[in-house]
Chains A and B, each alone.
Chain A
Amino acid sequence: MKPAPVAYARPTSLTEALELLAGTPDAKVLAGGQSLVPLLNMRLAAPTLLVDINRLPGLDHVMAAPDGVHVGALARHSAVLADAAARRTQPLLADALSHVAHATIRNRGTTVGSIVHADAAAEMPAVLAVLDGHVEVASVRGRRRIEARDLVVGPLQSSLEHDEIALEACFPALDARAGTAFTEISRRQGDYALCGVAAVVALDEDGAVASARCGYLAVHETPAVVDLPALVGARGPLGDDVVTAAADLALGVLDVEGDIHGTAAYRRHLVRVLTARALRTAHDDAVTRTTTRTTAPTPTTGGTA
């Protein structure tokens, strides 16, 4: 349970960090370390060089802009969770972050690190995917943008090249007539989920559902996003037939696998129950937001920054 011998570098500029990565094919980037260090301890990972990016300047931002929430590579989960402007701009972010491990882990772990770790059982990759977000990455060859749908290519496998550093994740802002929900089932609060669902439901101007989609974690080998046209046109409260049809649609797409923590049959059951729960909550949220906007044009502040 001790890491294998490894060399260590703590660059103070991005250029230096990128050159180190480019020069060492099996180097790993160390940010919060809350996913990487367990892998090192168990020797599931044994890089020859760790490039510690914690002293790189200008990467710890949590910036709520009109287009969405921009989270820098060194922003800790706890900082993102505590950011009132981020919560207003995209409430799904904070809803899901409160399920990420425990406060102690969130103090160190970074949101961007969790995303590029590409764990299908983690909350943040699924949230980025359901929102159609993206990640900005850099290497000595330049910068590029990776869409969330192209980011996770397999279990713990992202589409980043070995010499790339993820600089920022962008979570698009919630649309004016939309609502969100996040729900998951785990054995204990803070554990990895047996199944988790992030839902976004948007309404049209007459209050009927215009679009609905769910992101799934821990049931598919990658974070899966399913569009649910079965809901379009529905009006609240959503009936059993509507949410059941949506869950059936999702189950038709998801390749639900069982493991030591739960059988495939049990997880399919959870998909059914949690899809219904998340869609109803997201729909209620959309109705509340739309109503609040109509009757009270001043947005609520949602607490102090």
Chain B
Amino acid sequence: MSTTSTDQAAEPTYDVRLVVNGTPHEVRLPARRLLSDALRHDLGLTGTHVGCEHGVCGACTVLLDGAPARSCLVLAVSADGAEVTTVEGLTEDDGTPQGRLGPVQQAFVDCHGLQCGFCTPGFLTTITAGLRENPDPTHDEAREMVAGNLCRCTGYQNIVKAVERAADLAGRGRPDGDDARPADGGAA
């Protein structure tokens, strides 16, 4: 970390190294740059959405060294050296430039969990980490997993279904994975 100040009026800036979705980046930022803004403005990764900007809505959630964090409540400079996973990093490599949707993304498509799509990136990152910790959540645990994220379309039913669907999709790849539940949760 080093500081430069070219003239009296200039704000000091700091070298920040971030590994975002596996790609190392070095940027020079003022201390007040939020991680959400560093991702969007400085690295051009606009998949991370900014809603409330004070930690309430969850739209800006990214994985910071593997754990979900509100990127609007992290100064980019304090994340120096961290590994960040954004929504752009959730696709799986299938040899094509755009990749294949990951299980949580696919589940949102299957269950119509996006609706307007604004809050979706935060849900996807939160659920990706949540299923890593609890690969086979009960219905209540699926609800709890997304309780910190707001959807102003208020389409929570389909989002909770998508959590369960994603668990099924991811479970197929595991040796002990349960048989997949239907996308509608099996309810009549």
Q: Which residues of A contact B (CB under 8 A)?
A: 1-8, 10, 30, 33-34, 37-38, 40-42, 50, 52, 54, 78, 101-105, 107-108, 188-190
Q: Is the CB of B12 within 8 A of A107?
A: no
When distances are taken between beta carbons in the complex, the residues of chain B under 8 Å from A8 are 12, 14, 31, 75, 77-78
Tell me, yes or no, whether B61 is within 8 Å of chain A by CB: yes
When distances are taken between beta carbons in the complex, the residues of chain A under 8 Å from B69 are 104, 107-108
**B49-93 interface (Cβ within 8 A of A):** 53-55, 58, 61, 64, 67-70, 72-75, 77-78, 80
Given A5-B32, A6-B31, A10-B1, answer yes or no on A41-B70 (Cβ-Cβ < 8 Å): no
16 residue pairs of the A-B complex, CB under 8 angstroms, read A2-B32, A2-B34, A3-B32, A3-B75, A6-B32, A8-B31, A10-B77, A10-B78, A30-B75, A37-B55, A37-B72, A38-B54, A40-B32, A102-B58, A103-B148, A107-B64
Q: Is the CB of B12 within 8 A of A7?
A: yes
CB nearest neighbor in B for A30: B78
Tell me, yes or no, whether B43 is within 8 Å of chain A by CB: no
- A107 and B58 alpha carbons, distance in the complex (Å): 13
When distances are taken between beta carbons in the complex, the residues of chain B under 8 Å from A42 are 54
CB nearest neighbor in B for A42: B54
When distances are taken between beta carbons in the complex, the residues of chain B under 8 Å from A5 are 11, 30-32
Q: Is the CB of B147 within 8 A of A189?
A: yes
When distances are taken between beta carbons in the complex, the residues of chain B under 8 Å from A103 are 68, 130, 148
Tell me, yes or no, whether B105 is within 8 Å of chain A by CB: no
Tell me, yes or no, whether B128 is within 8 Å of chain A by CB: no
- A2 and B34 alpha carbons, distance in the complex (Å): 8
Q: Is the CB of B53 within 8 A of A41?
A: yes
Tell me, yes or no, whether B120 is within 8 Å of chain A by CB: no
When distances are taken between beta carbons in the complex, the residues of chain B under 8 Å from A1 are 53-54
Q: Is the CB of B78 within 8 A of A102?
A: no
Tell me, yes or no, whether B126 is within 8 Å of chain A by CB: yes
Q: Is the CB of B75 within 8 A of A33?
A: yes
Q: Is the CB of A34 within 8 A of B55?
A: yes
Question: Chain B's nearest CB lies how many Å from the CB of A78?
Answer: 8
Q: Is the CB of B75 within 8 A of A50?
A: yes
Residue-wise, chain B 8-19 has the 8 Å CB interface mask toward A (1 for contact) of: 000110100000
Question: Chain A's nearest CB lies how many Å from the CB of B119?
Answer: 14
Total cross-chain contacts (CB, 8 A): 89
Residue-wise, chain B 166-182 has the 8 Å CB interface mask toward A (1 for contact) of: 00000000000000000
Question: Chain B's nearest CB lies how many Å from the CB of A42?
Answer: 6
Contact of A108 among B11, B70, B126 (CB under 8 A): B70
Which of A101, A107, A188 gathers the greatest number of chain B CB atoms within 10 Å? A107
Q: Which 3 A-B pairs have the closest CB atoms?
A: A102-B148, A8-B31, A3-B32
Question: Chain A's nearest CB lies how many Å from the CB of B71?
Answer: 10
When distances are taken between beta carbons in the complex, the residues of chain B under 8 Å from A38 are 54-55, 73
Given A50-B75, A102-B148, answer yes or no on A7-B55 (Cβ-Cβ < 8 Å): no
Contact of A107 among B37, B68, B147 (CB under 8 A): B68
- A5 and B74 alpha carbons, distance in the complex (Å): 15
When distances are taken between beta carbons in the complex, the residues of chain A under 8 Å from B12 are 7-8
CB nearest neighbor in B for A102: B148
- A222 and B78 alpha carbons, distance in the complex (Å): 31
CB nearest neighbor in B for A31: B78
Question: Chain A's nearest CB lies how many Å from the CB of B10?
Answer: 10
Q: Is the CB of A37 within 8 A of B75?
A: yes
- A52 and B80 alpha carbons, distance in the complex (Å): 12
When distances are taken between beta carbons in the complex, the residues of chain A under 8 Å from B130 are 103
Question: Chain B's nearest CB lies how many Å from the CB of A152?
Answer: 22
- A218 and B184 alpha carbons, distance in the complex (Å): 41
When distances are taken between beta carbons in the complex, the residues of chain B under 8 Å from A102 are 58, 147-148
Residue-wise, chain B 90-117 has the 8 Å CB interface mask toward A (1 for contact) of: 0000000000000000000000000000
